[in-house]
Structure 1
């Protein structure tokens, strides 16, 4: 559930960022600011975008970690069923796999990485 919320939040933030960039470009084009003021505005914008991009990377990392944790839990669950001789068909439900298609490593969930240093 948490991974689905993170995916939605990430998508919403990306959409919001695109809209804000378009609005800012329109305002800057219409404002006819002097080059110095425009440079200051651009620098502040870049700082804000860097902060937002870092927040997005953090959410992507957290999503990958949650997906890995979920996949590990489902795998452990399946192994226990097999160990105790319980057929999967007899449990009455199918475990969700919300992270299908994501490339997850074989290490513990705490070691998920994607070029992100935590």
Structure 2
């Protein structure tokens, strides 16, 4: 009995605990359902407000886009008119543009020529500076040469006067000496012929028997004549040397006259060049006097 009572009491406690638990679970379920409904209502209202805002914004955007589209259409029409006007203006400006391009190319070409001419001018200025320096140097050198030429002209005049005096003196001495030598030679030859004739006639008349002595005498006379002839040749050699010196001096003077540009007609006398009689000696190599055979 006690056991049954305990079982009943325990069952009552369990039923009470189970009922309490079920009530709490039911309360929590109802509260959770209510919370979910409130949350869903709030989310639905938020979503409704969001989509309403989107719809309103889209409608406003559509209206704005329509206005912008109309504005863009008008702007496009205006741009088309401007483009047409611009194309017309471009067609009108095409010929001046081509002319301007031609002028631009011409100006560019002139600019290239200008740069080249500028460089050429710079080079010419440098060359002009060098030439001016060279001209100054040449001017100074020319003045020096003029002074030197004046001194050379003075020296030439002095040499000319001195040479004239020497030529006149040499011609006088040479002519006089030649005349004296030729006269002396001619006199000696005539005297020799006379003596030879007189000697032969005297021997033939006075002593016809002295033929051997006459032969010996002829040999002696021949030796004497050979010595005289040698003296004559030496004298002629001296005459030839004097003539050669005279001719060399005259040629040297004429060369100097040609070098300084003075005509030979200004000598003031006619040089003695003609030779009378046979020339016994000639000028050999290196100006050496040799016998003319």
Q: Give yes or no for TM over 0.5.
A: yes
The answer as to whether partners of 1:10 and 1:59 remain within 8 angstroms in 2 is no
Structure with greater proportional helix content = 2
For 1:113, what is the secondary structure of its paired residue?
A: strand
2:265 alignment counterpart: 89
Unaligned runs of 5+ in 2: 1-173
1:70 to 246, 270, 279: 246
2:180, 2:264 → 1: CA distance? Answer: 28
Q: Which moves more between the two structures, 14-23 or 45-54?
A: 14-23
**Partner-residue secondary structure (3-state), 1:85:** coil
- Which moved further from structure 2: 96-105 or 40-49? 96-105
The structure with higher relative contact order (CA 8 Å, sep 6+) is 1
Is the 1:81–1:87 contact (alpha carbons within 8 Å) kept by the matching residues of 2? Answer: yes
Give the 3-state SS of the residue equivalent to 1:104 in structure 2.
strand
Cα root mean square deviation, aligned:
2.6
Q: Which moved more, 1:99-108 or 1:87-96?
A: 99-108
Q: Pick which of 59-68 and 7-16 moved more.
A: 7-16
Who is 2:290 aligned against?
113
Match of 2:217 in 1: 41
Q: Which 5+ residue runs of structure 1 have no aligned equivalent?
A: none
Q: Distance in 2 between the 1:56 and 1:9 partners?
A: 9
User: Who wins on radius of gyration, i.e. which is larger?
Assistant: 2
Q: How many residues align?
A: 115
